[in-house]
Structures are given as C-alpha cells and as structure tokens.
Amino acid sequence: MNSDVSTQQVAVIGGGILGVSTAVHLLRGGASVQLLTEGPLASGATGRSLSWLNSAGERSNPYHELRVAGIDRYRTLFAADPSRDWLQFRGGLFWQAEGRLEDTVARHRYEKSHAYDSHLLEPAAVGDAAPEVNPSAVSEAAIFNPGEGWVSLPDLVEHLMNEFHELGGSLLVNAGRVSVEVQDGRATGVRTATGETYAADAVVVACGAATPDVVAPLGVTIDNASPVSMLVLTKPLENAPTVVMNTPRAAVRPNPGNTLALDHDWYEESITEHGDGTFSIPEDVVQELADEASKLLAGNPELKPASWKIGRKPIPGDGEPVFGELEKVPGCFVAFTHSGATLGLIAGELLAGEVLSGEKHPLFATFRPERFAA
C-alpha cells in the first residue's frame, strides 16, 4: 500500500471532460480538490463533442502516441463494463469526396505504416464491415478502422463525478468566469466572478476554447484557433448505426437511446454569433445536416433533429495539444486540446501526475505551453 498520500490543495477550473478527469485523478492521488465551473457541468465543448475515439489520419508521432494511449484508457474502462451504452468500440468509417482516391489511399498507407489497424474497402465491401451503412453513398473507396470507438462525454462526466463525490471532492457550479490568483509570481488560488477566492497549492486551467483567455492576464500567450461548431442530436430511430462515420458532408456517431450525434463544418458560415455571446443557426440548415446523414444509412431513414448546441470547438493555434505547467507562473497548469474526447482520460491522468509529483511526463514533452512564446 502506498503511504505517500498528497496533502496538496488543487483548484481545477473547468467542468468538461479534461477538468473532471484531472480532478478525479488528483483525488485518486490523495489531493484535496476544488472544482469550479463557469456554468453547469459538461455545458461547454464537452456537451457538443462528436467524441470519436481515434488516431486516424496523419499527425505528428508524439500526438499519435498520446492518442493511442488515450484509446487504451477507454478500452480499460470499456472492459470493466462492456454493457455501457455510452462507450462502445465498433469501428470507424472514413471516406472523401469523389476524385480524391489518391488521398484516401495515401491516408490508408500512412496509417498502416505505424501499425494503425486500417482497411481500404471498395464501396461494395463497406456493407460487409457495417451493414447499416449505404454503400452507394461511398465515393471511390472507404477506410475502415475496426479498433475505433465513441463515447458520450456527458455520460462519462456523470460517471466520473460519482467517483469525484465519493472521494470527497468539492464542486462549485455556475461560478462565472474564474481567474487565477498569483502572488510572488506563483499561482496561489482562484477567484470567481463574484469575488470569492479559493486558496490552492496548484491550479489547473481546463476551460476549453476559453483557456487562452484565462491565462492571458498572467502574461502567457497560447494561440487560439477555436472555430464555431455545432452538434446535433437526432430523435430515436430503428436500426441505428454502430460505427462512427466521417464523410464529406456529415460526421455521424451513435448515441445512447438509438439516437445519433451529427457534426461537420460546411455549415459554419450559416452560424450567427450574437452580442451576448450566444449563437444561432437556421433550422433548415440543421435539417439539411440530418438529411445528409440520412443518405449515409441503408434505407435512407428519415432523421429528425431533436436538439442542437453551438459553441466554440477548442483548437490550439498549431493544432497540437497544450498540456503542462506554465514556466512563467509556477503552480498553474493548463489543458487545451482539440481531441478532448480521445485524450480525456489519459490527459487527466498524466496532468494530475505532474501536479502531484512535480515531474514532467515525457508524453507531454512537445505539447508544453511555452512553444507559443516565440
């Protein structure tokens, strides 16, 4: 039994998957944790993420390695209870628009080159891998990655928060915009929008697309390329697909209750940002996305949107994750990444380890915040 129990008090800003995962791992390590959220839990990007668990396509080797580790942690969670309807591994399908066969083949070869399970399929063979998919919707070829999966992040957050409370974590929701308190150059706690302060030995900033704005007053610059995006949840349908699909006009993920989660980027110009920070989109554009998704399914079932959420999708300026302690402000750690779903569990584990031990993890070596300083 480990007798090295942490006595640290840590404040975590952010009620999405990265903040909640880090908070739970800190509690597991013996720290006392105060979790603060601007609004309700999972009300930001976590509540509108496609949450496709993958490391498909081309990216840097360190990023791929971290994502594969992330998938591994989900497989551990899945193995503990495969019956969970909010976490499944049934594979992923990808295809591009007509005329891009060479790009698809190159992507497949790249995936194979680092032993990522990748199968190049002709359209007629897609039905064998995923019978619920309409083969005629596929262009020249598709890539099937059988090891990929998906997670409903709001359900995962709820699951983790049960452990959070069991381990004695303290939660403050609807705290408004929370800032980092600094004394003598070191993070010493946080302050809520109403002026309440919470002292801490360390602070973790995991506020999604707002993370760069939270650390900017500390004199730290993190480039932010977060676009506005939307996630649509459909009404239940019979014979819902079990695979994730990433296609030229719609990205589709299974969702609990025989519903689907839909996403893409072609409609971004139809989104209006209002002066109060909210967003809107014409309902016919939302239905158009559902119609595009219907074309991907065998029998082209009618898909009706049940709800949709719009907000900024967290993406650092160079596309790579940002993890670790700020050199300029010791005691303040950040977590900011586009792949919050895939990295949610592993990033929380490794970041909590850095907070508790003071040792930098090698998997974060190329993802340090200071790379933007130049």
The pLDDT value given to residue 5: 55
Question: Based on the domain organization, do 165 and 192 belong to the same domain?
Answer: yes
Do 168 and 307 belong to one domain?
A: no
Same domain, 272 and 177: no
Residues in the chain: 374
CATH number at residue 304: 3.30.9.10
The DSSP output letter for 360 is: P
348 and 212 fall within a common domain: yes
Claim to verify: residue 190 and residue 278 sit in the same structural domain: no
Residue-averaged pLDDT of the chain: 96
**pLDDT > 90 in the chain, percent:** 97
What pLDDT band is residue 128 in, cutting at 50, 70 and 90? very high
The domain total for the chain is 2
215 with 252, same domain: the answer is no
What pLDDT, in 10s, does the model give residues 52-92? Answer: 999 999 999 999 999 999 999 999 999 999 999 999 999 99
**Domain-located, residue 76:** no
Say whether both 140 and 208 belong to one domain. no
- Check whether residue 127 and residue 93 sit in a common domain: yes
Does 239 lie in the same domain as 108?
A: yes
125 and 168, same domain (yes or no)? no
Global pTM reads: 0.96
Quick one: pLDDT at residue 2?
Answer: 43
Strand pairing partners for 279?
Answer: 273
Residue 301 lies inside a defined structural domain of this protein: yes
State the pLDDT confidence band at 7, using cuts at 50, 70 and 90.
Answer: confident
The answer to whether residue 71 is domain-embedded is no
Residue 286 has pLDDT above 90, yes or no: yes
Is 250 within a domain?
yes
pLDDT of residue 1: 35
Q: pLDDT class for 6, splitting at 50, 70, 90? A: low
Q: Do 269 and 329 fall within a single domain?
A: no
Q: Structural domain of residue 251, as residue ranges?
A: 88-149+226-312
Of 295, 312, 329, the position where a domain reaches its end is: 312
- Give per-residue pLDDT as tens, 92-124: 999 999 999 999 999 999 999 999 999 999 999
Both tokens of 50, joined, read 């496609």
Per-residue pLDDT tens digits for 155-178: 999 999 999 999 999 999 999 999
What residues have CB less than 8 Å from 191, skipping those under 6 apart? 178, 179, 180, 181, 197, 198
Distances (CA, A) of 99 to 96, 107, 278: 8, 15, 38
Average pLDDT over residues 307-321: 97
- CATH code of residue 343: 3.50.50.60
pLDDT digits (tens, 9 = 90+) for 193-247: 999 999 999 999 999 999 999 999 999 999 999 999 999 999 999 989 999 999 9
**158 shares its domain with 290:** no
67, part of any domain: no
* Closest by Cα among 223, 252, 250, 245 to 314: 223
Assign residue 168 a region (left: φ > 0; alpha: ψ between -120 and 50; beta: otherwise). left
